[in-house]
Structure 1
Amino acid sequence: MVAEAKFLRAFYYFDLVKNFGGLPIVLQMAQPSDVEGIQRSTIAETYELIEQDLKDAIADLPTKSEYSASDLGRATKGAAMGFLGKAYLYQEKYKEAEEILGDLIDTQEYDLCPEFKDVWSVENNNNIESLFEVQFNSDLSYSLGGRLPVFTGSRDDSGWSWGLPTSNLEKAFLDAGDTERLKWTIVKHGDNVPGDDTDEGQNYVITPSKHKSARINRKYYIPHDLRPARYDENHNPLNHRLLRFADVLLMYAEAANELGQDTDARRALKRVRDRVGLPEVTSSGTQLKSAIRLERRLELALENQRLYDLRRWTDSNGKKALCNVMGENGSFVQYNLYQSTDEYELTNQGENSNKGITFQENRDLLFPIPNTEVLLSGGSIAQNPNF
């Protein structure tokens, strides 16, 4: 129980430090008067807590295979090892990341699903690729289901159409010859939705005038014959995958490449590419690094990984990758304003095409601390720079 609590504390602090930077660290129950005047610790100090909690959790948590089916979804030794490897990677502690992720791979507790389409299938929750995922169900009594399929779905299909895939992402798949993952990641207006053979899934409607890109996220889509009644409520049973084995392999490949262990990096990368029928990457050094980064974009697209990768990666010009993607001269902004020929995004200007143009690299690598938190602290919690 203590190990589970430490895992969860590390998980939440990791989520917060990625978004906001250094945090006020509270390690025990406390009354408001006990934390009056508390200030933020440094990013390094916050990561020290995360690392120690995960190491403690690893020592005491069971493996996934030691749990019964009724306990699926609980924190496991493998999940703690995976998040520790990710925490190391985010700090550029490549040696430590390579070691713990290599040990995790060697446990053989996890493997890739045989087919990419099975990774996010509602019929394949807690699959062999899953290290940690949020457990949802369709019990109407307690609203314990998820709503992401609704949030990201077509407005013509009871959806809210948040976080739509872009033509820039689709182009990345096409440029890489990656048709298999494209099919199971992006649905475009007029497509037959793969895996949904119902009438509603054929010639699928994502009305361009109501959707900036006329595309939706296939990963969170639930076929019509598998949807619960009263679909637009918090009881969709598609578990949300937070850490999966393909991510572990690609993190290991990245760490190995940074250490000059390109043979090991290529071997891990090959496992991910083999599943979707893509050729083996034979490059080394910086070219291999670029290939691994692209693979992360394509494999983990729309899974809440890309922003954090772009924030942590340093490009050849010494800037964080996000600074080269966003901003007035950023590649994503330039593509949308001057290079794109996409019929839907260019036509639908209900939402402007200059998204990201106001990005400032001396401000926007972190989010602002919510003003409510600053006020509740009486001003002792310092705001992030330039907000």
Structure 2
Amino acid sequence: MKKYKFLIASLIASTVVVTSCDDSFVNTQPLNELSENAVWTDAALAEAFVSEIYAGFGNGGFDEQMLASLTDETIFTHPGRGITTITEGRSNPADIGWVNNTISWQQMYLRIRACNLALKNLASPKFTNTGNIVERLTGETKFMRAYFYHQLARYYGGVPLVDRPYDLGEADYMATRNTWAETVAFIVKDLDDAATLLNGKSMAAGRANYAAALALKARILTYDASDLHDATKMKAKSTVLSSFTKPELVANVTGSQADRWQKAKAAAKAVLDLPGYGNLLNLTAPVSAQQGTTNYMNNSLSRNGGQNELLMARYFINAKQENGGRQGLFNGPNGYNNWAGNTPIQIMVDDYEMMDGTKFDWKNPAHASDPYVNRDPRFYASILTEGSPWKVRSNANLPRDPASQIQTGRYEIVNASGAKVTHFGLDTRQSPIEDWNGSYTGYYIRKFTDPNPAIVDQNTWQEVPWPILRYTEMIFNYAEACIELGQDEEARTWLNKIRFRAGMPAITESGDALRQRFRNEKRIEMYLEEQRFHDARRWMIAPTTLGRKANGISIVGTLKPGKTVSLYKYDKENYNYSYTVFEIDPGKENRSWADKLYYLPIDRNEMNRNTKLVQNPGY
């Protein structure tokens, strides 16, 4: 980015030889760049360099295309973006499919090089270490290097571990992949160092801190203990992975999985023991349904106590007009002139429990006749359905919808002459407002969209932060480790803290039944937070979850006998409603799971540049 030009220029070592009679020309310094030496002799410039490394977070998960659309959470509405390359199992080294810059092999190593440059120069600072700035910047940089390596590890497995900046003129720039165990150990070491250096330091929001270092360690150790990274479990559950000749690159081939779960449990508990984090987790009974919805919205929007959930976040400032502030535009209803990009699928909707904690079931006549009532309060804070109250329509469209309700169904009315007339909702693909970019599924995302009516999503930016690391994730990591170690009561205690906050009754199961309740609870609570992509893989349940066809809902409102209306509105008094679940047209997306998708392929160009690399299994 242009504003970082003077910093990025210092990332690449270069030698320029100029011969001239005018020595003053040789000594001319560019006005918009600084030399590497100048950066590391000035404390402010050194801090600016480290600050730029945070740009590797990108927009967090708030891109137009969300990772959720590579899972059974949402489907991406617009074709030709590379998402179906992955969801349909066609990913290959020549065409990986859609990955953003926070996943890209090349971009992560560019950021790792920046970290290595910073660590090298901070090891022998040439400026006064006022206020222990060197220790702080070193701690931040170690956290960021660990973060970028953890990104590579959870998408690609074990990767080459480069802990220094390469210079020009080296004999060899190629490197072999380290094992999965070595990669995890390297990340953990960096995070332990970062925690030591950052402990006790007051950090600005959005910068690495002590809690973030402990939390990222807990996450990577949770991954390390999971079935996907245990060679025995991995081989038993996948033919493709079992035939891989280098299993150590993607899994632990020695040691006890139980021991790894013990380490993961201890790491997560270290975060839970920190004071000042978490929101409303001391309840002894469920709050009301309405309060549960409010609590979840506050946590998602990071306000009214929800900000205490954030251990590490990507923040956005309205004035900068970054894409991370455009979630309302990217995902909002087309009837509000938004783009309907990532829309919830019916499978996700069905996994929200009823208020009493029982499963929703289309075979239950009461559920099927009114599917959006008495559901988990988090449902109403996460998903917009037919009839959901939402922001006031634009002046041009308000006369069509004075109630400002989401309209994703179609209404069939018999006119005075006896002919049936169909009216399509304003937020359908047959909308009279915009008829090309509506939801295919009959739903829209509410979570992460600021409900403030003054924020007109079509042309206004919002300031909702992206939760890179959240306290509640640490509860799930701790509870999962407890379950895998047979400590069910402790797991239930912590899971019910989350449920009570949301207005849901306690979980009482044990054994595998508890494991399944835990997995669904995490699916609901962490919706859209880039957990499902990794969880379904590391639990090795992707064939039966991510491999399912995307689906949606067709809603028809039929005028009751003797009733007359003049305006489309969700209205049970005047209409009978029928709901039909259908699979998305395979021509739009034909999801198919392939076991090679447990990992992304290493790009062909990277393989050609570094012939020592071993490709991931199945590619």
- TM category, shorter: 0.7 to 0.9
**Identity %, equivalent residues:** 25
Matches of 1:83 and 1:352, distance apart in 2: 37
Tell me the equivalent position of 1:21: 157
In the alignment, is the contact (CA less than 8 A) between 1:212 and 1:345 conserved in 2?
no
Gaps of 5+ in 1: 314-319
Tell me the equivalent position of 2:252: none
Matches of 2:457 and 2:589, distance apart in 1: 37
Q: Are residues 1:94 and 2:257 paired?
A: no
Q: Are residues 1:67 and 2:202 paired?
A: yes
From 541, 554, 564, the equivalent of 1:321 is 541
Matches of 1:381 and 1:150, distance apart in 2: 41
From 105, 125, 128, the equivalent of 2:308 is 128
1:62 deviates by: 3.8
Tell me the equivalent position of 1:152: 331
Deviation per residue, 1:244-268 (Å, 9 max, x gap): 1221111111111111222211110
Query: Counterpart of 1:281 in structure 2: which amino acid?
Result: I
Per the normalisation by structure 2, the TM-score is: 0.53
In the alignment, is the contact (CA less than 8 A) between 2:279 and 2:305 conserved in 1?
no
Matches within 5 A, 1:70-219: 71-92=204-225, 93-113=260-280, 115-121=295-301, 123=303, 127-140=307-320, 143=322, 146-174=325-353, 175=359, 178-193=375-390, 196=391, 198-199=392-393, 202-205=404-407, 207-209=427-429, 210-219=438-447
Question: Cα–Cα, structure 1 residues 159 and 42, in superposed 2: closer, same or farther, change >3 Å?
Answer: farther
Question: Cα–Cα, structure 1 residues 219 and 38, in superposed 2: closer, same or farther, change >3 Å?
Answer: same
Matches within 5 A, 1:343-354: 343=555, 346=582, 349=585, 352=588, 354=590
In the alignment, is the contact (CA less than 8 A) between 2:279 and 2:308 conserved in 1?
yes
Matches of 2:584 and 2:223, distance apart in 1: 37
Matches of 1:151 and 1:383, distance apart in 2: 35
Query: Counterpart of 1:146 in structure 2: which amino acid?
Result: G
Matches of 2:154 and 2:617, distance apart in 1: 15
Question: Cα–Cα, structure 1 residues 40 and 147, in superposed 2: closer, same or farther, change >3 Å?
Answer: farther
Matches of 1:259 and 1:347, distance apart in 2: 39
Matches within 5 A, 1:239-278: 239-278=465-504
In the alignment, is the contact (CA less than 8 A) between 1:189 and 1:208 conserved in 2?
no
Q: Secondary structure at the match of 1:67?
A: coil
Gaps of 5+ in 2: 1-136, 226-259, 282-294, 354-358, 361-373, 395-402, 409-426, 430-437, 556-579
Q: Secondary structure at the match of 2:300?
A: coil
Q: Secondary structure at the match of 2:312?
A: strand
Question: Cα–Cα, structure 1 residues 286 and 378, in superposed 2: closer, same or farther, change >3 Å?
Answer: closer
Question: Cα–Cα, structure 1 residues 385 and 100, in superposed 2: closer, same or farther, change >3 Å?
Answer: closer
1:157 deviates by: 3.3
In the alignment, is the contact (CA less than 8 A) between 1:113 and 1:127 conserved in 2?
no
In the alignment, is the contact (CA less than 8 A) between 2:338 and 2:457 conserved in 1?
no
User: Aligned pairs, how many?
Assistant: 359
In the alignment, is the contact (CA less than 8 A) between 1:122 and 1:222 conserved in 2?
no
Matches of 1:219 and 1:53, distance apart in 2: 33
1:351 deviates by: 5.3
Question: Cα–Cα, structure 1 residues 226 and 19, in superposed 2: closer, same or farther, change >3 Å?
Answer: farther
Tell me the equivalent position of 2:182: 45
In the alignment, is the contact (CA less than 8 A) between 1:346 and 1:353 conserved in 2?
no
Q: Secondary structure at the match of 2:207?
A: coil
Matches of 2:280 and 2:206, distance apart in 1: 18
1:350 deviates by: 7.9
Query: Counterpart of 2:382 in structure 1: which amino acid?
Result: T
1:186 deviates by: 0.8
Query: Counterpart of 1:59 in structure 2: which amino acid?
Result: T
* Structure number with bigger Rg: 2
1:159 deviates by: 3.3
In the alignment, is the contact (CA less than 8 A) between 1:38 and 1:380 conserved in 2?
yes
Tell me the equivalent position of 1:317: none
Matches of 1:252 and 1:268, distance apart in 2: 8
Deviation per residue, 1:205-241 (Å, 9 max, x gap): 5633332212222112123534279737xx5422111
1:30 deviates by: 1.5
Matches within 5 A, 1:261-300: 261-300=487-526
1:113 deviates by: 4.9
Compare the two structures and name the one with the higher helix fraction: 1
Q: Secondary structure at the match of 2:220?
A: helix
Q: Secondary structure at the match of 1:242?
A: strand
Bigger Cα displacement from structure 2, 14-23 vs 112-121: 112-121
Bigger Cα displacement from structure 2, 27-36 vs 90-99: 27-36
Deviation per residue, 1:273-327 (Å, 9 max, x gap): 00112111122221111111111011011111101011111xxxxxx11123244
Tell me the equivalent position of 1:370: 603
In the alignment, is the contact (CA less than 8 A) between 1:217 and 1:302 conserved in 2?
no
In the alignment, is the contact (CA less than 8 A) between 1:101 and 1:252 conserved in 2?
yes
Question: Cα–Cα, structure 1 residues 126 and 29, in superposed 2: closer, same or farther, change >3 Å?
Answer: farther
Query: Counterpart of 2:404 in structure 1: which amino acid?
Result: Q
Per the normalisation by structure 1, the TM-score is: 0.83
* Higher relative contact order structure (alpha carbons within 8 Å, sequence separation ≥ 6): 2
Give 4+ residue runs of structure 1 displaced > 6 Å after superposition: none
Question: Cα–Cα, structure 1 residues 261 and 231, in superposed 2: closer, same or farther, change >3 Å?
Answer: same
Bigger Cα displacement from structure 2, 208-217 vs 262-271: 208-217
Tell me the equivalent position of 1:316: none
Tell me the equivalent position of 1:231: 459
Q: Secondary structure at the match of 2:343?
A: coil
Q: Secondary structure at the match of 1:139?
A: helix
Query: Counterpart of 1:325 in structure 2: which amino acid?
Result: T
1:163 deviates by: 2.7
